[in-house]
Every structure is written in structure tokens, then in C-alpha cells.
Structure 1
Amino acid sequence: MDVISKKEEIEKNGFTIINNIFTEDEIVNLITIIQKADSSNGTFRKTKDLFAIRQFLKEIPDIVPFILTQKLSSIITQLFGTGYAVVKSIYFDKPGDSNWFVAYHQDLTISVNEKTDIAGFGPWTVKQNQYAVQPPLSVLENNFTIRIHLDDTDENNGALRVIPGSHRKGIYRAETINWNEESEVVCGVLKGGIMIMRPLLLHASNRTNNNHKRRVTHIEFSNQQLPSPLLWSEALK
């Protein structure tokens, strides 16, 4: 891995792709652990078009050492330094016949332990007994997400479409995108590869049209401490 070029890509474009991080055997092991999990909890969502697990690493703690491998931890340290920890995790499984799609958006909220009145934090939402809030931009600008791909992903089965550089423009509403100035990139990632992205990067995904699955783990990292009494609700102990 060319660390300097990857850092530059993240700084300039808001994302980078690194393939061949997890082996075939490691991917099979991850899928096996997920399939054995008790899906009766409310954080598990299963429909015809999507299977998702919120608070993924907390719901399936046995999978943590197989996700946060020495190789992945080394990449994080090389690209971002030390002190970063998991603060949110989701597992997505888009079936081969899925019509699920996601319009352009930024990831503007963080998961926290309670709702309280703190300057700069808001609006608030609650979903499945999980509080989420939009924090100050400084928090979002410093965080990053790693998406681990358990299947080959391209434009035919819901690979992310992104607008390079949009992470540097603050809150950027999809309805205000000027396509005369912006360009779109489709982020194909091989099975076992990762995509690293900033939360403020505008991203979207299409419906699947080739009958191929797309399974991804979405893990957010931060090195920041929230103002008391707020805590990262999904921080690993």
C-alpha cells in the first residue's frame, strides 16, 4: 500500500479503495459467524430487499477480532494515526433480486447514549431505542468509515456512487448538487477489499440488476470524546 497516495486520495476525494485486505477464508469465516447469529433482536432488520444488523459489533461480539484484524488496524494507524476506536457499525446484505436503492446523502448523525440539550448537537432522532444526533461539523470532518466488502461489488449490484471532494463542502444537500460542476464515480470493490470514506462524502447506491448479492460491513471510527454527559453508544469496551 502506498500510504502517501492513499492519504492524498482521502484528503482530496474523501475516499479510497484498498483491495485484498481479507482473504477468502477470512470472508467465509465472517459470513459463517453472521449466519449463526440470533436474528430475533430488534436491531436485526429483514425484508425482501435488505437484511441489516444495526449495532453490528455489539450484537455479534464474537466477530470483533475477525473484523478488527491486525492488518486492518495497521492500515488505520498508517493512514490516520493512533487513538481511533469504533463508534458505530452496521451490516448490510442486499440480496441478488433486491430493489433497494439509496439516494445521494451524507452520513450526518452519530449514535449516542442519551438525548440531552448540548449546544451544536441537533436535530435528534431515535430508532430502535438508539439515539442519533447531528454533531458539530468538526466531529464529522474528523471521523472516517471503513466498508468491508464480502462480495465483489460493481455498478450492477449496488456499488456506492460518490461525488469526489464533496466532503470538503460542509452540509451539502442532494437537491442542491450542481451536475455542471460535480462528477460521479462508481466505487467498485473486490471481495475482501475495503473502501475508506469520510462521513460528509455524498454517496448513493443503485438497485441490483445482475442478481448478485452485496454484503458489506460499515464501521465508523472516531478519536474524539463527546461533551458530557454524551457517550458514544456503540463504542467497544
Structure 2
Amino acid sequence: MIDFNRDKIKLEENGFSIVEGVFQQEELNKIIHFIEHHNFDFSERQLLNRFPELQNIIFESKSFKKLYSTICDKNYFLSKAIYFNKPSKSNWFVSYHQDLSISVKNKIEKEGYNSWTNKKGQLGVIPPLSILENSVTFRIHLDKADKTNGCLKVISKSHKKGIIRVDTNFDANNQGSEVTCNIKKGGVMLMKPLLLHASQKSISESDRRVIHLEFCNQEIPMEWLEKKVI
């Protein structure tokens, strides 16, 4: 079994790590078959709330379970799950940002929790920094991602700067070294939510399907909307 401790160190130091070959083709086929059978759209939120059986399919992978247990101790739980697809020749791009909003069950005004949103009945809020610092994202790549189909670009080590104001004065060149995150299908990208990241338009004939799983080890007063024990 692969030793993932180096990836844990890279994640802490750089805010991300690319782990190739986590899922074998047979394991990917099961996930893709599930997605196609249920006719997923470009974006499916509350993914494991709506399709809990998908959690079992994902965690059937011994390599993924090993990666997860290396990065996350027993205090961690799932806090958000999303499916994304950037289809072939998608003409949208996503500018640099951090993943700041968390999904919660109840609106409770509490110091440190700001910028409440309600999108189609789903409550979101930006939590205190400690919540974001104790969160980690696993991006499971069902297709290869490169600069032709909108792979992520990140600013290495930007997760150490707290919440960064992205406004008209924002210049990514002043934030650190930009890295283009090419990754083969079956790979997993580990990422801190505070890491600055962006993606370009797709000029490829290929889809870019990703399952985005966030985990945290901190409880919150308003309760996590999608909390699942792993």
C-alpha cells in the first residue's frame, strides 16, 4: 500500500497535494455508472444526503480509505459533498477565490459567523477561521484534468494567509506562486479550503467530472447540514 504521509506534509505546507492513481478503473466505472444511471446534472449539491449509497461505493476503494485515514483522524466527518462537471468546450471560467462558505441546518446569529446566504433553501455562512483551518477537501477526478479542460490553478501556500480579500485591487501575482494542477483520472487532489484557486474555460472535447468532498473536525452551533460520520 502506498504511504500517503508525504501528501499530508505537502497539504500542510503548500495547501494542496496531487495524489495519482488512487482509484482503479474498475472502481471508477462503478462511480461513473452510478452517476450516469441517476442522470446527474452539471452540479449536484448535498450529494451524499441525496445519494447515500454513493458513499459506500467511494469508500470501497482500499487506497482511498488509506488516503483518508492518513489525512483525517477519527474526529473528522463529512461536512459537504458536491458533484461538478465542466462539460466539453464549457465557456465559463472561475476566477481566484477561497472556499469560505459552509452549509448549515439553522440560522443562528453568532459572533464570528458572517455573510449568511440562502440559495434554494440551503443556508450558507462564512464561519470563524478555525473552522476553515480545520477543514480539508478531497477532489476525486473521474476524468483527467489539464489546461485544455479547465483544471484548477492554485496559489501555493496562500492557505496560510487567512481570508484574502478578492476585489478590484486583487492581483494573484502578489499572492505567491501559481501552479497548474494537471491530474489523471482516478487521482485525488487534496486541498485546504483557504487555498486560492481558479479554473479556465474548457477547449477540450472531454468532460471534467469531479466529486468534491469536504471534511472537518469542528462542531458548530447551527449544525452541519450534510454531516456524515465516516
* Fold match by TM threshold 0.5: yes
Counterpart of 1:59 (choices 50, 66, 69) is: 50
Which runs of structure 2 are paired with 1:9-28 in the superposition (5 Å)? 9-28=10-29
Contact 2:7 2:17 (C-alpha < 8 Å) held by counterparts: yes
SS at match of 1:224: coil
CA RMSD, Structure 1 to Structure 2 (Å): 1.6
CA deviations over 1:152-184 (Å, ceiling 9, x no partner): 111111110000000000111234335156221
SS at match of 2:173: coil
Identity among equivalent positions (%) equals 43
Which runs of structure 2 are paired with 1:184-195 in the superposition (5 Å)? 184-195=178-189
Offset at residue 74 of structure 1 (A): 2.0
1:132 pairs with 2:124: yes
Contact 2:142 2:210 (C-alpha < 8 Å) held by counterparts: yes
Query: Residues of 2 paired with 1:171 and 1:79: CA distance?
Result: 23
Which runs of structure 2 are paired with 1:136-151 in the superposition (5 Å)? 136-151=128-143
In the other structure, the counterpart of 2:171 is: 177
Q: 1:38 to 1:152 in 2, by over 3 A?
A: closer
Q: 1:181 to 1:62 in 2, by over 3 A?
A: closer
Query: Residues of 2 paired with 1:22 and 1:181: CA distance?
Result: 33
> What residue identity is the alignment partner of 2:29?
V
Contact 1:85 1:223 (C-alpha < 8 Å) held by counterparts: yes
Q: 1:111 to 1:3 in 2, by over 3 A?
A: same
In the other structure, the counterpart of 1:198 is: 192
Which runs of structure 2 are paired with 1:1-237 in the superposition (5 Å)? 1-37=2-38, 46=41, 51-69=42-60, 70-175=62-167, 176-177=170-171, 179-180=173-174, 182-227=176-221, 230-236=222-228
Query: Residues of 2 paired with 1:178 and 1:154: CA distance?
Result: 20
Q: TM-score, normalised by structure 2?
A: 0.92
In the other structure, the counterpart of 1:43 is: none
Instruction: Please identify, of 1-10 and 11-20, the stretch whose mean Cα deviation from structure 2 is larger.
Output: 1-10
Unaligned runs of 5+ in 2: none
Count of matched residue positions in the alignment of Structure 1 and Structure 2: 225
Q: TM-score, normalised by structure 1?
A: 0.90
